[in-house]
Amino acid sequence: MDVVFLSQLQFAATCMFHWIFVPLTLGLSIMTAWMETKYVTTGDETWLRLTKFWGKLFLINFALGVVTGITMEFQFGLNWAEYSRIVGDIFGAPLAVEATVTFFLESVFIGVWIFGWKKVSKKVHATAIWLAAIGTNLSALFILQANAWMQNPVGFALRNGRAEMTDPLAVFFNPYGVVKFIHTLLSGYALAAFVIMGVSAWHLLRKNETEFFKRSFRFAAVWGFVASLIVGISGDFHAVDIAKSQPTKFAAMESIWETKKNAEMCLLLIPNAKEECNAVEALKIPGMLSFLAFHDTKAEIKGLKDFPKELRPPVTPTFISFRVMVGIGTFMILASLAGIFFSRRANFENNKLYLTIMLFALPLPYLAQQFGWLVAELGRQPWIVWGVLKTSDAVSKSVTSTQVLLSLLGFTVLYGFLGVIDIFLLVKYAKKGPDSDLSNIINVQGRG
């Protein structure tokens, strides 16, 4: 195994592990802030109990996300030194803003929120979690804009073998990144909603705190449906961007080998690396692929055979990952819509079939997230910065395969240990349920 492959594998492993925590943090931060706001505005103590319970799970997840995110940045200087040398002036700009502004905002007010229960008023405390949540979500914006520049590089010029920023506004407001941000952010909200519904389903099946978890489920079902629906809509716009700016990725997503107009969408097929797939005609929708790509059924879709082999991404994993992501996303829309309907019925806790499905569906949004990133990153290959810098030219020249392999094994052991801790703590406190006595907090905050 060479240095390029091992460095890709190491970054993929650390990135995918880190992304286990990010979407839940994005969703639970906003949803916890919403719950506390409901408590402040209504005085209903159940909302306070919801805030404390889900807020505790949010903090556990947040801590692990911070720890696993730091190591990724070091890899740019260690494994990907050529990448940092050539495009670091541009790629580092949004990351610098994220670290000095948004991460500072979220970390400061997370501290106020954690330690301020008995020290500040209800309104001040609720404001703190909102500022922390806004900081968390803005962090995602700048990181995703950095990634968007790799997918659709804009606002730069190549001078003396290095990329220099010529238009900061174009970089920070890259249209590709704006759509990607909406798609990613709402997928985080949907994931958090399904986690809440899954945990609530577990308690409802055991008749634990029935009224508490029925309200929790109803609340999350609405969030889950709206977020999942917007994810699907934004995904359509994102596909249009990909078709225009990354035609090989789009062709790999759909296993299109021959250039054609009025391209049909194949619902069920197995990609073939040599020939056009021969799907059963009944499983094809004429013109649909051209419509999804350009909102025009007569539009031309470029096939992979129009591009040199060395510029084609790995087709099979990109194709399969895309369909798994879309399939799970469709399920999430339907399952959360059913949750809105079922959770408003009087004997919802007796609907064992649906609750069991939602309990076992808890991992599905995580899988959808991971497969979505596989589409984004595998589909970009062989480029690390589309059309500007190839992945093979971005690795460090002084790093050996043995060094990368040993560090990969070290990360695997360390992250595996952290993963066990995270799952243990989340399961422990999720099963424990909400606190019953909050009188001390209420009395103190009531004086603020």
Tokens 């009224």 locate to 211
H-helix or E-strand containing 343?
none
H-run or E-run covering 162 = strand 162-165
Q: How far apart are CA 303 and CA 244, in angstroms?
A: 13
Strands 260-261 and 265-266: unpaired
CA trace torsion 197, 200, 206, 210 (10° rounding): -120
Query: For the segment 359-407, what is each residue's pLDDT rounded down to a tens digit?
Result: 999 999 999 999 998 998 988 989 999 888 898 888 888 878 888 888 8
Burial class (CB in 10 A: 0-12, 13-18, 19+), 398: exposed
Which pLDDT band, with edges at 50, 70 and 90, does 267 fall under?
low
Is there a contact between 39 and 122 (Cβ–Cβ < 8 Å)?
Answer: yes
Distance, CA of 22 to CA of 66 (rounded, Å): 9
Q: Which two tokens stand for residue 31?
A: 């949803």
- Is residue 349 within 8 A of residue 289, CB to CB? The reply is no
Where residue 443 falls among pLDDT bands split at 50, 70, 90?
very low
Distance CA 143, CA 147 (A): 6
395: which residues sit within 8 A by CB, 6+ positions away? 3, 4, 7, 79, 80, 81, 82, 83
Average confidence (pLDDT) over 419-444: 74
User: CA 309 to CA 422: how far, in whole Å?
Assistant: 43
Amino acid identity at 132: A
Q: At 384, phi and psi to the nearest 5?
A: -95, -35
Spatial distance between the Cα atoms of 309 and 297, rounded to a whole number of angstroms: 28
pLDDT of residue 106: 84
% of the chain with per-residue pLDDT over 70:
93
Q: Is the dihedral of CA 326, 330, 333, 335 positive or negative?
A: negative
> Could you tell me which residue, 94 or 270, shows the higher pLDDT?
94
With tokens 């790799």, the residue in question is: 150
CA dist list (Å): 443 to 56, 110, 122: 21, 22, 11
Model-level pTM? Answer: 0.86
Q: With a cut of 50, say whether residue 131 has pLDDT above it.
A: yes
Is residue 382 reached through a cis peptide bond, with omega within 30 degrees of 0 on the bond before it? yes
- DSSP 8-state assignment for residue 50: H
CA dihedral 89, 95, 96, 102 (to 10 degrees): 160
Give the model's pLDDT for residue 242. 86
pLDDT of residue 273: 45
Mind listing the pLDDT tens digit for each residue in 21-79? 888 888 989 999 998 998 988 888 888 888 888 888 888 888 777 777 777 777 777 78
Name the packing angle between helices 175-205 and 352-360 (round to 10°). 130
- pLDDT, tens digit, 9 for 90 and up, residues 285-301: 777 788 877 877 777 88
Tell me what pLDDT residue 98 has: 83
Region 99-127: mean pLDDT is 85
